Amino acid sequence: MRYIPDDPYRRRSASRPEPLEAGAAVRRQDFALKFLAEFAREPLRVGAFWPSSEALSQVVVNCCDIRPGATVIELGPGTGAFTGLLLKRLRGRGRLLAVEINAAHAAILQSRFPHCEVIQDSAENLHRYLDGRRAQCVVSGLAWANMLPETQNRILEAVLESMTPTGQFVAFAYAHAAWLPTSLRFRGKLMEHFRCVETTPIVWRNLPPAFVFYCRRA
């Protein structure tokens, strides 16, 4: 596993996602407060107390090698910090499947992004919704450090079964939790199942600071 220097991962996408439109800051604050309320109600399932920042969202999506027409899966999208940027990369072609276990977040996603397929279910059941197809890219917003080993295994198995042989997996992790046993276990699992595992520098403009795993099967 190695770090991706700043310039290469920023240049990975030929066209970077555009900044948020005017008025988006107000809406982001509203979604953030709803996110916080859901975290207070179900902390283990939600996994984070604040949605990902625009800075982290840009890094995550820039790590994705997505082309129009691709099938993309987003796990644990929350209120959609990555979703809009992923849809822009698809340019109205292909398929974005967002699997969200929290009912309130799923409702917000469906309202914000009517062109996205929103499924309220556990990521463990991902295979039920692919109609025999496989994804070129799986993007994770799940809190892997919060999971029991058995849950990590089941979800990662579902991810691998849902990807093409040359597919990619992109996930972020919080810097402060990087050395927890569950985080180290997840890192080891990635290195076991993917030929190439890379990480970005820490994104400090996120609450809390985070970094991104970028993994390829071949």
Give domain limits for the chain: 2-216
pLDDT tens digits in sequence order for the chain, 218 residues long: 544 444 444 444 434 444 444 444 435 455 544 444 444 455 544 445 468 999 999 999 999 999 889 999 999 999 999 999 999 999 999 999 999 999 999 999 999 999 999 999 999 999 899 998 999 999 999 999 999 999 999 999 999 999 999 999 999 999 999 999 999 999 999 999 999 999 999 999 999 999 999 999 98
Q: What is the DSSP letter of 103?
A: H
CATH code, residues 2-216: 3.40.50.150
* Both structure tokens of 159: 């991810």
- Which residues, other chains included, contact 100 with Cβ-Cβ below 8 Å and sequence gap of 6+? 76, 77, 78, 106, 109, 118, 119, 120
Of the candidates 49, 71, 51, the residue with the CA atom closest to the CA atom of residue 60: 51
Is the sign of the CA dihedral 185, 151, 111, 115 positive or negative? positive
| pTM attached to this predicted model | 0.80
